[in-house]
Chains A and B, each alone.
Chain A
Amino acid sequence: MCGIVGLLVKNPELRDRLGELMVPMLIGMTDRGPDSAGLAVFSEPVEAPAHKMSLYVPPPPGVDADASSYDWSGMLVELRAGVAHDHHLSSMASHAILTTAADPVAVTAWLREHAPRVHVLSVGTSIDLYKDIGSPASIAQRYSFNTLRGTHLVGHTRMATESAVTPAHAHPFTAGHDFCLVHNGSLSNPHLVRRKLEPLGIHFDTDNDTEAACRFFEWRMREGDDLVSAVHRGFEELDGFYTFLMGTDQQLLIVRDAFSCKPAVVAETDEYVAIASEFRSLAHLPGIRHASVFEPKPQEVYSWRV
Chain B
Amino acid sequence: MARVTTKPASAGNSREFDLANVALREVNRFLHQDAANEGVAQVRVLNPDGAHSVACGLNAELEVEVDGNVGYYLAGMNKLARVTVNGNAGPGAAENMMSGLVRVRGYASTGAGASAHGGCLVIEGDASLRCGISLKGGDIVVGGSVGSFSAFMAQAGRIVICGDAGDALGDSLYEAVIYIRGDVRSLGADARFEPMTDQDLAAVKELLTTAGFKHAPGEFRRIASAKSLYHWNADANQEY
A residues contacting B by CB (< 8 A) are: 258-261, 263, 278-284, 293-295, 297-298
Contact = CB atoms under 8 A, between A and B. Distances in A.
B96 interface: no
Contact of B49 (A280, A294, A295, A298): A280
A261 B91 CA distance: 10
Q: Is the interface of B mostly helix, strand, loop or mixed?
A: loop
Contact of A258 (B90, B110, B148): B148
B109 interface: yes
B129 A280 contact: no
A282 B50 contact: yes
Contacts of A282: 50
27 contacts: A258-B148, A259-B129, A259-B149, A261-B110, A263-B109, A278-B72, A278-B90, A279-B49, A279-B50, A279-B69, A279-B71, A279-B88, A279-B90, A280-B49, A280-B50, A280-B52, A280-B71, A282-B50, A283-B49, A283-B50, A284-B49, A293-B106, A294-B107, A297-B147, A298-B147, A298-B148, A298-B166
A258 B149 CA distance: 11
A1 B91 CA distance: 14
B225 interface: no
A295 B50 contact: no
B90 A263 contact: yes
Contacts of A283: 49-50, 69
B129 A298 contact: yes
A48 to B, nearest CB: 43
Contact of B107 (A281, A295, A298): A295
Given A278-B71, A295-B128, A298-B129, A260 B147 contact: yes
Given A283-B69, A295-B128, A298-B166, 12 more contacts: A258-B148, A261-B110, A278-B50, A278-B90, A279-B69, A279-B88, A280-B49, A280-B51, A281-B50, A293-B69, A293-B106, A298-B129
A278 B88 CA distance: 11
Between B50, B88, B107, B110, the greatest number of chain A beta carbons within 10 A of the residue's beta carbon is seen for: B50
Interface in B118-132: 128-129
Nearest to A258: B148
A286 to B, nearest CB: 14
